[in-house]
Amino acid sequence: MKPLRDAQRDVLAAVQRLESVRVPVAEALGLALAEPVSARHDLPPFANSAMDGYAVIASDVAIAPVTLKVLEDVPAGSVPTREVVPGTAIKIMTGAPLPAGADAVVQVEDTDPGYDEVLIRIGAPAGTSVRPAGEDVAIGTQVLAAGERLTPARLGVCASLGYHEPLVGRRPRVAIMSTGDEIVPPNTPDLQPGKIRDANRFTLGGALEELGVSVIDFGIVGDDADELRARLAQAAAAADAVVSSGGVSMGEYDLVKALLSELGSVDFWKVAMKPAKPFAFGRVAGTPFFGLPGNPVSVAVAFEQFLRPALLHMMGAERLFRPRVWGVLEDAVETDPEKTVFLRVNVGSGADGRLTASLSGAQGSNILTALAAADALAVVPVGTAGLASGSLVELEMIRMEEARSAMEVIGG
């Protein structure tokens, strides 16, 4: 068996970064920057008011109440035309530029406006409610590094600094297909004996979409060499990577193996992991090919361990692996000491402030519902024959449902 680390290393070594392209910021979510983002101007670009109120000279209002003459009114988007001089104020809205002469803003709640004057009831020290130019980012500062993936907040940063078309790694196109004579489309009205509805194309397609990949669906392919050969060749020509599920374990091994060695160079690995031990990887007509096992949970685990890091690498992302955190396992488990074992678990917060992990259902590689309920994969390392309840375990967070623990608290 091939150690998981070695398999991951070999996969990463075999895939290459795609070229960089400029993409409208609105279409760049999830993509990795191929250039650093630096401030070409201060952000905010000018000193402005943090409140609706009156721009004043702080020393004028040090002893309040005091009445000041109002020179003009500056809404956001306008610029002041007057200078605040002793005894005067300028009415200002949030986001409007601070007028020359002023060094503080008194919020409107602390004033009594009159016709062309204002009573300042509570004074404000210099700097109050003023957002200096460059408070967030000073001109010239690097804010984001190449290799960082664009989250919603980072899209906002790009936009505010004028990176309306950031340079990013191109979005990979990934062809997916399900294989197996037993697999039928989900809209099949009456399941014939021996047939099952396709789950994998949807688990896989969804995971790929979440990653920011464009998915090309090559449907279901029967266990037939000619059909598979044709479909794989089409997929390899259309995509940056091809992913299939099923047909890589012992039963059909030989058929697919012979076919794949004819189309390209694909290795069949037995990776020391559970689930997802059988895994085929290589090239079909030059395109990276990932042959995942058929069991739905194996598909998800193989996606997490191989496909996701490989695609992130192709996208030019710097961080390829999900963060791991430690938690307390609440169930006792027996595991194969020769394999890295991934358990499907729910994550919560324990009374002592530590995270807890409990099995989200039965652990068979066909149990889709336990996967669907899981927040994390708990990682039991090689050399461990099991874990007692209460053991610390590493958790690879694959999905954290909003407010799971809060709902438990509210529910009693």
The contact set with ligand AMP (CB under 6 A) reads 178, 180, 182-183, 196, 198-200, 245-247, 249, 251, 293-296
The answer to whether residues 305 and 287 touch, using CB atoms and an 8 Å cutoff, is no
Q: What is the β-pairing status of strands 324-329 and 355-359? A: parallel
Residue nearest ligand AMP, Cβ-based: 294
87 Ramachandran zone, left/alpha/beta (phi>0; psi -120 to 50):
left
CB of 216 vs ligand AMP, minimal distance in Å: 17
Give the largest CA-CA distance in the chain. 92
Q: Across the strands, what pairs with 41?
A: none
The yes or no reply on residue 291 touching Mg ion (CB under 5 A) is no
Asked if 180 is part of the footprint of Mg ion (rule: CB under 5 A), the reply reads yes
Note whether 266 and 301 are within 8 A (CB).
no
Q: Which is nearer to ligand AMP, 136 or 252 (CB)?
A: 252
Q: Which is nearer to ligand AMP, 97 or 291 (CB)?
A: 291
In the block, which residue shows the tokens 């066909």?
A: 366
Instruction: Sort strands 88-92 and 66-74 into parallel, antiparallel or unpaired.
Output: parallel
Q: How far is the CB of 365 from ligand AMP (least distance, A)?
A: 8
278 binds Mg ion (CB under 5 A): no
Residue with tokens 């059988």, as numbered in its chain: 278
Question: Residue 299 is encoded by which pair of tokens?
Answer: 């598909």
Which pair of structure tokens corresponds to residue 85? Answer: 């001089």
Q: Which stretch binds Mg ion (CB under 5 A): 90-98, 247-255, 380-388, 393-401?
A: 247-255
In eight-state DSSP terms, residue 149 is B
Q: Round the CA-based radius of gyration of the chain to a whole number and report it.
A: 30
In the bound complex, what is the minimum distance in angstroms from residue 360's beta carbon to ligand AMP? 19
Q: Cβ(371)–Cβ(300) under 8 Å?
A: yes
* 246 touching Mg ion, by CB under 5 A: yes
One-letter amino acid at 372 equals: A
95 or 222, CB closer to ligand AMP? 222
Nearer to ligand AMP, 264 or 296 (CB): 296
Shortest Å distance, C-beta 228 to Mg ion = 11
At its nearest, how many Å lie between ligand AMP and the CB of residue 290? 13
Residue nearest to Mg ion (CB): 180
What beta strand segments (E) does 75-148 contain?
Answer: 88-92, 104-107, 111-113, 117-120, 130-131, 142-144
Q: Which is nearer to ligand AMP, 165 or 223 (CB)?
A: 223
Q: Is 105 or 302 the residue whose CB approaches ligand AMP more closely?
A: 302
Alpha helices in 246-367 (DSSP H): 253-263, 296-302, 308-315
Scanning 51-59, 112-120, 176-184, 367-375 for contacts with Mg ion by CB under 5 A, the matching segment is 176-184
Residues within window 293-322 making contact with Mg ion, judged by CB under 5 A: 294
**Residue 212's binding partner, choosing from Mg ion, ligand AMP, none, with beta-carbon cut-off 5 to 8 A by kind?**
none
User: Helices marked H in 80-175 — which ranges?
Assistant: 152-160
The residue (of 204 and 312) whose beta carbon lies closer to ligand AMP is: 204
Interaction site with Mg ion (CB under 5 A): 180, 246-247, 294
